[in-house]
Structure 1
Amino acid sequence: MRKVIVQEFMTVDGFAAGKNDELDFMPASFSTDSENNIENNQLQLIETIDTMILGRATYTMFEAYWPNSDEPIAPGLNALKKYVVSERLEQAPWGNLEPVPIIKKDVVNEIKKLKMQAGKDIIIWGSLSLVQSLLNSDVIDEYQFIICPAVLSNGRKLFTDDSKLLKLHLLETKTFDDGHVLLSYTI
């Protein structure tokens, strides 16, 4: 069975977005002169996945950027099978590529069906509201937190004050030369 991996960029103080959904704390570019950088990590991750699920807001942000990007990760990201979770969207274009199928209801069961299909792992990038709606389900298998060397002091957290206890088991830690840290956990 395929795994569902959630990857979130977060600040040291646990915020995944600013109070108005700003992402200023994320690196503007992943590329550095070093081999030990986030871009290389993301390129390696893309080799292990073949499906991406996004919430509506993240889909809108990704669709506006990635189909026309010349960043090294863009060809791999654009080649992924994509799904967007939204009750509001009627269509979901992706540049000049195939439109993205929309999951409108029964999200947990639809993701379980995807997990049962043959293929590589499945990634959910960002998509705070979507991930929060899945926290108490059994569809998420792994969390990857990329901790950014920044403090926001307020904004949107992935784990809210009313989140239930989630016991995680460390899989890997990786420190990048630019000060970011990857923490990977399984449930």
Structure 2
Amino acid sequence: MRKLMMKMSITIDGFVCGPNGENDWIFKSSDESSRAWAVSQSMDAGLIIMGRKSFVSMAPYWPTASGPFAAPMNEIPKGLFTQKGFKGIDPIKTETAEQALAAKSWVEAKIFDGDLAEEIRKLKSEPGKPISALGGAGFMRSLIATGLIDEYHLVTHPVVLGKGLTIFNDVLQPMDLTLVDVKSFPLGIVARTYHS
């Protein structure tokens, strides 16, 4: 049985993005060591799952991207969760054979459109490396509601937005989590890992 890990950047006041999805603040406090930690966390995954909105926005970008996150984002198989159907993505424009290969994991993403909790249980029952959940507030709230997340990676950035979207506002009863690791980085990011 494999575990489900959720990674989310969060502000000091508990928001994961601004009211209209703004997330440019994430990159302001990032440094080489925080990026290296995040890449190592990503490389541990055997499957990256996300909601439709995140998938549609990320798929055209990553195959032609460079930098430390490009390898895990392109090499690891993808799972797309949607309740609104999915007609596929526009052809991903690539210029090199390497970029075309990188686009493959996006084009061949497995589509899940059934009950979220049931689909996650099936994925967790399979052998393999952990499942890493990425994406927006709506998808994360839905995942949290299933009660099936094993590990929360909450990366707190030294910024206060004052308003925005949260991921824990729909929790119906208290969740007891166990803090298992804390990492601090030079520009103020603090990464906390919790087990449920």
What is the TM-score normalised by the length of structure 1? 0.89
The aligned residue for residue 195 of structure 2 is 186
The CA distance in 2 between the partners of 1:82 and 1:69, in whole Å, is 17
User: Partner of 2:182: helix, strand, or coil?
Assistant: strand
Q: Residue 59 of structure 2 aligns to which amino acid in structure 1? A: E
Structure in which a larger fraction of residues adopt strand? 1
The aligned residue for residue 26 of structure 2 is 26
The percent identity for this pair of structures is 28
The aligned residue for residue 135 of structure 2 is 126
Structure 1 stretches of 5 or more lacking a match?
none
CA drift of 1:87 comes to 2.3
Match of 2:77 among 71, 75, 81: 81
The CA distance in 2 between the partners of 1:100 and 1:110, in whole Å, is 15
Asked whether the equivalents of residues 93 and 100 of structure 1 are also in contact (C-alpha less than 8 Å), the reply is no
The aligned residue for residue 67 of structure 1 is 63
Structure 2 stretches of 5 or more lacking a match?
93-102
User: Partner of 2:41: helix, strand, or coil?
Assistant: helix
CA drift of 1:77 comes to 1.8
The aligned residue for residue 8 of structure 2 is 8
Q: Residue 12 of structure 1 aligns to which amino acid in structure 2? A: I
Structure in which a larger fraction of residues adopt helix? 2
The CA distance in 2 between the partners of 1:166 and 1:50, in whole Å, is 26
Asked whether the equivalents of residues 93 and 99 of structure 1 are also in contact (C-alpha less than 8 Å), the reply is no
Moved over 4 A (4+): 28-31
The CA distance in 2 between the partners of 1:94 and 1:172, in whole Å, is 41
Q: Residue 80 of structure 1 aligns to which amino acid in structure 2? A: I
CA drift of 1:162 comes to 5.5
